[in-house]
Amino acid sequence: MSGVTMLPAFTSLRHFSTTTVRRAASEFRMTVPWGEMRGQVWGPSNGRPVLCLHGWADNCGTFSTLIPLLPKDWRFVAIDFPGHGLSSHRPDGCLYTFPLYVADVRRVVEALQWKQFSIIGHSMGGNVAGIFSALYPEMVDAVVLLDTYGFLPTQMTDMFKNMRKGINDQIHYDNKTDERKERVYTYEKAKERLKAANPSLSDQSADILLERAIREVEGGFVFTRDFRINLKNIVNNNIEQCLHMLSLVKARVMLLLAKDGIFKTFTLPNGYGDMIQKSWTDQKATILNIEGDHHIHLNKPESVASIITDFLQSHSPDGETGNESQKN
């Protein structure tokens, strides 16, 4: 497990009510060519391996309330994607794209020496999980997609407009190095900003994400995330590409779609959402529409924990703990 270290977690309780039960986690640190990737780890080293992938502009704290409700003998690794949470930002001049996020996952599981594992992915993390599971179908035994379809198709006519805009945005950003200045917030103002960008977050959920989303500086706090994650993504897939990748997935898949989640306000064009759901159904995926919002897994984890546990237990490699995946 070269390049990976586990550190005892520092758990701050100042923002948590007494009703919140938190299982002890260790800090995950892994060296990468541009710095390090960070995250959190729960459970025994020989437990069933489950990788947890957060959504855009979130961090691995998004799983902090869910994982304590899942089986304690499983091994959960929740990462901060580069440019998010406590992970290093990508190198100067580098763009944030889905293929690079998929490569990040490949680096992590290589370092962990996981031959086969399950994935829980929320939002953008679910889309990374979908592409990874298509590229490496032999490595993934089960996938839980939280308020995401696993693929995000773009109209052909928009793909190259996006590419042009993303390249221009990046160059503009790179040329403004002298004008960049981190804005310093009070804790409450940082929390207000986070909740304004994520209206579905409860007050406590915002506190949890802020544990890794801000760092203290003289005069207050600054956000840890890389501003470049806001720039237009230059690598998009059209519906044909998405459906082809979906057909390559060999894992059993469950989609948990929140009734007041992302697809209530963000509708995919041209009936793409229905097309993807039909393709998942054809592949015997489980699709459940659940009460809740985009961050239901963080705000009210008890409403999804047993559903996730039952699904993963029914699709574990050895029918119980999944430890067979460690012996391949």
Catalytic residue set? 123
- Which tokens is 302 given? 């008890």
Q: Dihedral angle at the C-alpha atoms of 152, 48, 80, 221, nearest 10 degrees?
A: 130
Distance between CA atoms of residues 220 and 273, nearest Å:
42
Residues 6+ apart with CB under 8 A from 294: 123, 147, 198, 200, 258, 260, 261, 262
The phi, psi pair for 84, rounded to 5°, reads -130, 150
Q: Taking CA 318 as the corner, what is the angle to CA 314 and CA 322, rounded to the nearest 5 degrees?
A: 80
Give the Å distances, CA to CA, from 121 to 161, 165, 253, 297, 308.
28, 28, 11, 11, 12
Place of tokens 């995926």: 285
Q: Do 69 and 34 form a contact (C-beta atoms < 8 A)?
A: no
Beta-ladder partners of 78: 40, 52
- Tell me the HSE value of 327 on the side-chain side, using a 13 A CA sphere: 6
Distance between CA atoms of residues 13 and 11, nearest Å:
6
Buried b / exposed e across 158-187, counting CB within 10 Å, b at 16+? ebeebeeebeebbeebeeeeeeeeeeebee
Collapse the DSSP code of 225 into the 3-class scheme (helix H, G, I; strand E, B; otherwise coil) and give the result: coil
Q: Do 4 and 29 form a contact (C-beta atoms < 8 A)?
A: yes
